[in-house]
Amino acid sequence: MIDASESSSTRPYLIRALYEWCTDNGFTPFIAVLVDETVRVPIEYVKDGEIVLNISFDATSALNIGNAFIEFKGRFGGVARDIYVPVDRVLAIYARENGQGMAFPMLAASVATKEVPAPVDSKHAVLKQVTSTEPEGAGSDTPRPPTAAKPALTRIK
């Protein structure tokens, strides 16, 4: 019997499930990514160590959401780029149109200071809804983060 510490992460499975939910419902799936040296994205689009990527069928080519990484070809400013994101760097996946999705526990401050993040007790974590003031149907080759709050987990004790 495999105990929980030896099993694979649920993160890639949840990302794939929410990606499928977005596409089945006509929503545009976006992922928020914490950028470090393991992430291959256009650095000019990184803001405050994060980037938001549109991973919809229309915005990507050869999308592969694997257990260890997400990779695809995407256009940024009209230029095709190869994108590579380790799954453990994904902060959230959500629908652009309504902000529904899921944030994953990760502390950005701990990465900068090289400290090990404190574990988040997921049964006491609540996802704050991400909202966007962008009108429905508005689209672009260049993904933009929502104009309101970023996804965040809040501990409830």
Q: pTM for this one?
A: 0.67
CATH architecture, domain 11-155: Roll (2.30)
List, for residues 55-113, the tens digit of each pLDDT value: 999 999 999 999 999 999 999 999 999 999 999 999 999 999 999 999 998 754 434 43
| 111 vs 118, residue with greater confidence | 111
- Residue spans of the domains in the chain: they are 11-155
* pLDDT, average across residues 112-133: 40
Are 87 and 12 a contacting pair, CB within 8 Å?
A: yes
